[in-house]
Chain A
Amino acid sequence: MWQWLYKLGSPRWFYELGERSLPWLWGATVFLLAVGVVWGLAFAPPDYQMGDNYRIIYMHVPSAGLMKGCFYMMAICSAAVLIWKIKMADIVAKAIAPIGVMATLLMLASGSLWGIPTWGTWWIWDARLTSSLLQFFIYMGIIVLRSAFDSQDSAARACAVLTLVGVVNIPIIEYSVEWWNTLHQGASSLGMRDASANPPEIWIPAFFTGFGFIGLFFIGLILRSQNEILLRERRTQWVRDLVAKETAGA
């Protein structure tokens, strides 16, 4: 276990692990997404209130999950950067941030599209929408802060501090937005129903797309981390060997 963690801290080992796992990940992800999308769009029964509108849930809920998950994973990596000074953790944290931004934007966009037929407007100051917007701002702050530093080491530690500050604040922000929303809730009540009221035929495809999104996340994470590893380790022998091999093959 410890040896495995130790190995994971080595960029070269991480790169090679990525190379080996990518084909499997691609296969599993394509399978999960294909099953989830076809089942969800074609075979799942229409909702008795929203009809076919609800089907955007198969993208909306997984992207909402990624939005949260990405941030917590970044926070764990940031703790590793600050406590153990693991360079690989910073590479992963840097790789995750844009994926989290994409997930947040996807969640906001799919939520807006869903809102037009169900709520009659693409944006309302609903607690979840507002929290997600703030989450997007926090993600952007971390990305912007990283680009402002010249030194890679300072950037890594500064982003780690900001991520940890963010992760402490997120529950407080969500609670306050929730409170604010119940205070200001206007006439356009959402009519958000209890999810357990939905039949399993609606929820099972969501599990497939959900795990498909997790697969997509890991694919993105590995590809972006590999790029960053090659860039940072470009002066090492193993990267030179790799480049020589690739160019000779082409």
Chain B
Amino acid sequence: MTTEATAGLASVMGATIRRELLLAMRSPGDVINPLMFFIISVTLFPLGGGVEDAFLATIAPGVIWVTALLAVMLSLDSLYRADYEDGNLEQLLMSPQPLYFLVLSKVFSHWLMACLPIIVLAPVLALMLKLPAAGIGALVISLALGTPILVLIGAIGMALTVGLSRSGLLLAVLILPLYVPVLIFGTGVVDAAINEMAYAGLLALMGAMLALAISLSPLAIVAALRISVN
């Protein structure tokens, strides 16, 4: 009985992730736009602030993290918007499977599409911003741990606002204050690595935040989706 139920759950989660990835392949804008936003915004900082190596190196961790954070936030619209408009969200909420895992699979596939390309490209941009080589690995690890938290928190805000017609700025007001801890620890890891200090403890803290986000935020997402779909 139990094994049967878990097997069913695993296949449903797999099917959800496959569906999301297939949809993304058919409309690649959802993948390319956050990435392009990330690249272009990072480029603006040297243009606006100056190109001295020392200056760029100082701002690099913050610039990469802030732009990645904004790119993730702007990408969230594709998480529920289309599903809300064509009624798939209602189907999801009526599904007999535990919503917790369905929501988690959707968030995971969104992370694969919107965040993974950013993480892969971040080292290149970091080198363009003259980030010392010691910080590159830490940047990638911190992004890998931090961006899932951003998607999970953002999904709550997106689920709350998906029923509203113009929700872009509203979403920013709701979730950006909640992004602060991730930003602080993410840049903290990179700064520590540059200064050759131990940063394993900070990564552990980020991991703890990720564990907390994975366990709690789907509950809030489901509650919020029920409000929006009504």
Contacts and interface: CB of A to CB of B under 8 A. Distances in A.
B184 A148 contact: no
A172 interface: yes
B156 A180 contact: no
A121 B181 CA distance: 26
Main secondary structure of the interface of B (DSSP, over half): helix
B181 A158 contact: no
A137 B173 CA distance: 7
Given A141-B174, A154-B230, A172 B160 contact: no
Interface residues of B, number: 30
Nearest to B156: A165
A137 B188 contact: no
B116 interface: no
Contact of A148 (B164, B177, B216): B164
A134 B191 CA distance: 23
Contacts of B176: 137
A141 B188 CA distance: 26
Contact of A149 (B164, B191, B224): B164
B227 A173 contact: no
A169 B174 CA distance: 12
Contacts of A183: 188, 191
Main secondary structure of the interface of A (DSSP, over half): helix
Contacts of B177: 134, 137-138, 141, 173
Contacts of B164: 148-149
Contacts of B230: 151, 154
B200 to A, nearest CB: 15
A190 to B, nearest CB: 19
Contact of A165 (B167, B170, B184, B220): B220
B180 interface: yes
Contact of B178 (A140, A144, A148, A169): A169
Given A138-B177, A141-B173, A169-B178, A157 B227 contact: yes
B185 interface: yes
Interface in A154-181: 154, 157-158, 161-162, 164-166, 168-169, 172-173, 175-177, 179-180
Given A161-B156, A165-B178, A145 B170 contact: yes
Interface of A: 82, 134, 137-138, 140-141, 144-145, 148-149, 151, 154, 157-158, 161-162, 164-166, 168-169, 172-173, 175-177, 179-180, 183
14 contacts: A145-B160, A148-B167, A151-B230, A154-B228, A158-B227, A161-B224, A161-B227, A165-B220, A168-B216, A172-B181, A173-B177, A177-B180, A180-B184, A183-B191
Interface of B: 153, 156-157, 160-161, 163-164, 167, 170, 173-178, 180-181, 184-185, 188, 191, 209, 216-217, 220, 223-224, 227-228, 230
